[in-house]
Amino acid sequence: VQLQASGGGLVQAGGSLRLSCVASGAASGRTFNNYVRGWFRQAPGKEREFVAAIFRGGGFTYYTDSVKGRFTVSKDNAKSALYLQMDNLKPEDTAVYYCAAGARIINSSVKTSSQYDYWGQGTLVTVSS
């Protein structure tokens, strides 16, 4: 599965960005749509951390506490896409954001990066104060 993330950029604190992640190719798209899809981020000098995820089917969502109420994860199966709407951005949100997909993820493992099978290349989000 080939994943392509986009939408990063430079924004002032309080601003918004929308990240997108698209699976390329018909086979990749079908696989992507059947996987749990998530967003992680990695700030300079820090470990990669979970941000949000959305399950297949009904689309149950998970968020890390620091983004609840500000970020919204969504999916569009027709486009084999994953989105992350980020509002009220803060300087501490500055990081490279990665999209990912996993086949065997359950509720207890949704925040564990090693459980995800496929990763996009990352898109940089910079929030200035």
Give the pLDDT confidence of 51-108 residue by residue, as tens digits.
999 998 877 999 999 999 999 999 999 999 999 999 999 999 999 999 999 988 988 8
Cα–Cα dist 41/52, whole Å? 10
Report the alpha-carbon angle 70-74-80, nearest 5. 150
Instruction: Please name which of 71, 92, 74, 95 lies closest in space to residue 83, comparing C-alpha atoms.
Output: 74
The mean per-residue pLDDT over the stretch 15-37 comes to 89
Which helix (H) or strand (E) covers residue 64, if one does?
A: none
Q: Do the beta carbons of residue 73 and residue 61 sit within 8 Å?
A: yes
pLDDT grade for 38, boundaries at 50, 70 and 90: very high
